Amino acid sequence: MTTRSMTLSRPAPLTASPLALETRSVPSPGEGELLLRVAACGVCRTDLQICEGDIEARTLPIVPGHQIVGHLEAIGPGADGWKVGQRAGIGWLASTCGACAFCLGGRENLCPQARFTGWDRDGGYATHAVVRGDFAFHLPDGFDDLAVAPLLCGGIIGYRSLKRSGIRPGGVLGLYGFGASALLTIQVALHWGCRVFVSTRSASERARALALGAAWAGGYDEAPPAPLDASITFAPSGDVVVSALRATARGGTVAINAIHLDRIPSFSYDLLWLERNLVSVANYTRDDAREFLALAAEIPVRTATDVFPLEEANEALARLKRGEINGAAVLRSGEL
């Protein structure tokens, strides 16, 4: 039996179509691993940055993709808690050492030995994927495969960003950038009774934010109508971080939701003074993922997807880069 994958052998501009279709034998799951037949895999800006070389590749060749929804075809020895035929979700975090101070202290997202799906080990731009069973997630009912895929990165990391921002129920929250992750994050914030202000350069994204319940939407250079208790930046631009700091009230926090960010320009210390906080958001813990997936089912969180066949992964990434995706891009790898 064979598997098909869109594989990155060498980073290159998307105009060069860096992903190539490959066919090879289906891998077998090892100790503690699961073999999934992939049904859907979300397309993330991190995939784009790896393919184009903005984020340095750690393993080549590599199959990108870390928002994987699949159905179990085989279970390796020691992979407890799973049955053939079950649906499973796979996210960015592929493994940790389990023994360092970070892992033992509830901060496995900071483990120095952490490995990541689609960066260190093959991901979900394929018809099959092998993953560690203890890093796979049982998925809630009520979401089909295409709808649940975007939750496994943008949703989970957006949820961690909310936690890192320190926003409290009923607080005033600013969202800077309004792509796939922010579309999910705003739904959690509104569920918590927050008043949400959205800043983005896109007129269509501003309209969508208002339609979803944002109290205000404007451009990056516009001041929100009230000081922010906390803010999250999604745009991979350092200028946007400064805009968020400028709008955040004393004692508030700006959480940067990005794995890659261009240079933050110099700014007056007055923007940071009065105990404002500037924090990064790095990866997630499995507890974050489980909490968010349960919350997403409770709300319930709704997703919007643009669906592409697996073989059109280069086109999906190109449209993501051009800002032409209506919500989240998802690759369909098989019958749903």
What is residue 117's three-state secondary structure? strand
Distance CA 156, CA 91 (A): 9
The answer to whether the peptide bond before residue 64 is cis (omega within 30 degrees of 0) is: no
DSSP 191-250: HTT-EEEEE-S-HHHHHHHHHHT-SEEE-TTSPPSS-EEEEEE-SS-HHHHHHHHHHEEE
Question: Domains (ranges, CATH) in the chain?
Answer: 2-143+303-332 (3.90.180.10), 155-280 (3.40.50.720)
Question: pTM for the full model?
Answer: 0.93
Give CA 104 to chain center in angstroms. 24
pLDDT, tens digit only, all 336 positions of the chain: 899 999 999 999 999 999 999 999 998 999 999 999 999 999 999 999 999 999 999 999 999 999 999 999 999 999 999 999 999 999 999 999 999 999 999 999 999 999 999 999 999 999 999 999 999 999 999 899 999 999 999 999 999 999 999 999 999 999 999 988 999 999 999 999 999 999 999 999 999 999 999 999 999 999 999 999 999 999 888 999 999 999 999 999 999 998 878 888 999 999 999 999 999 999 999 999 999 999 999 999 999 899 999 999 999 999 999 989 988 999 998 644
Please answer whether residues 215 and 196 qualify as being in contact, where contact means their C-beta atoms are separated by less than 8 angstroms: yes
Predicted local confidence at residue 336, as pLDDT: 41
Predicted local confidence at residue 334, as pLDDT: 64
